[in-house]
Structure 1
Amino acid sequence: MRHILSVLVNNQPRVLARVASLVGQRNFNIESISVGESEEPGLSRMVIVTNGDKHTMEQVSKQLHKLIDVIKVQNLSADSVVERELLLVKVGASPASRTEISGIVEPFRASIVDVGPSSLMVQATGERSKLDAMIELLRPYGIKEIARTGVTALARGMSRQKAISS
């Protein structure tokens, strides 16, 4: 089962490494991890996407709480969440195919952010499935490079918050 963990941590060196190591020691593959400043000065929010059963994820949450720099762990999987990912994709594009590619990215609310002599760079945000669908439509033009941020997520305003503070 897919799980999204939101982990509020002190913004200190090596915290990311300790959190990732702890999850890896439990034999979980991290599908994605994103980290950035939070609403509180000095704190960062990590959003970790992984797979595992409910019992094991509870154990991972308990172990995360034991880390000194972890302030709060929230399993967003049980809540109604807003999740997004940022995608940059560089596509082969001759001047003749640019209008066609533009027509593909427009319904995805994506935008062309760079134009080169033989390529376009497209920026898109959304759920993973939406971005995957756009990539598949762009594939015939020749994808040169892809960069993805991984999932970032927050519980919706009316979600029940299952957060445990340490």
Structure 2
Amino acid sequence: MMDFGKEYLSVTVQDKPGVLQRVSGLFSRRGYNIDSVTVGGSEREGFSRMIIAVQGEPQRIAQIVSQLSKLIDVVQVARFGSTASIARELMLLKLSPPAEARSELRSLLDLFNCPVLEAEADCLFVQVVGDKDKNDAFLSMISRYGIQELSRTGETALAKIK
């Protein structure tokens, strides 16, 4: 099987109930996987932007873009590759490091520019922002410090050029 690069679809939609369901349903009906999806407000009042990370054959992604463009609440679809974009993911972690490992963990957090959002007697709440590969590497390095809980947003991205 050929390995295709990651692409992002920036989908501007009307901010209405059910739009995310219709978009994800299109992917589901076509048997196509979404690597991640983020949705939030956009620079235009009444519109939201979905960033959908996908991988696959270029022709198949073009077909999905064409089908997305036909959905009634979709205003615009832009497609860009990972090299033509800035992509980031937010992770929030709840760590429970042993007391003797806290200073070592703090050094590692400083190295990765990860702020401690809150510190309690038995746990730390940490924010990590970076590309998916950096975040994966960070997780593998801190796994021994007791990850109690982890939440990842999925990737969001902006095209570098228009």
With normalisation by structure 1, the TM-score equals: 0.91
Quick one: which of 40, 59, 62 aligns to 1:58? 62
Match of 1:101, as an amino acid? L
Quick one: which of 77, 82, 91 aligns to 2:86? 82
Distance (Å, rounded) in 1 between the aligned partners of 2:103 and 2:138: 16
4+ runs deviating over 4 angstroms? none
Match of 1:33, as an amino acid? V
Deviation at 1:6, TM superposition (A): 0.5
Aligned pair count? 158
* Corresponding residue of 1:24: 28
Distance (Å, rounded) in 2 between the aligned partners of 1:96 and 1:114: 19
Q: Which moved more, 1:62-71 or 1:79-88?
A: 79-88
Cα RMSD (Å): 1.3
* Corresponding residue of 1:143: 147
Deviation at 1:78, TM superposition (A): 7.0
Summarize the Cα distance change of 1:79–1:104 in structure 2 as closer, same or farther, 3 Å threshold.
Answer: closer
8 Å contact from structure 2 (residues 98, 145) kept in 1:
no
8 Å contact from structure 2 (residues 96, 122) kept in 1:
yes
SS at match of 2:44: coil
Unmatched segments (≥5 aa) in structure 2:
none
Distance (Å, rounded) in 2 between the aligned partners of 1:107 and 1:28: 38
Deviation at 1:149, TM superposition (A): 0.5
Tell me, yes or no, if structure 1 residue 126 matches structure 2 residue 143.
no
Unmatched segments (≥5 aa) in structure 1:
162-166
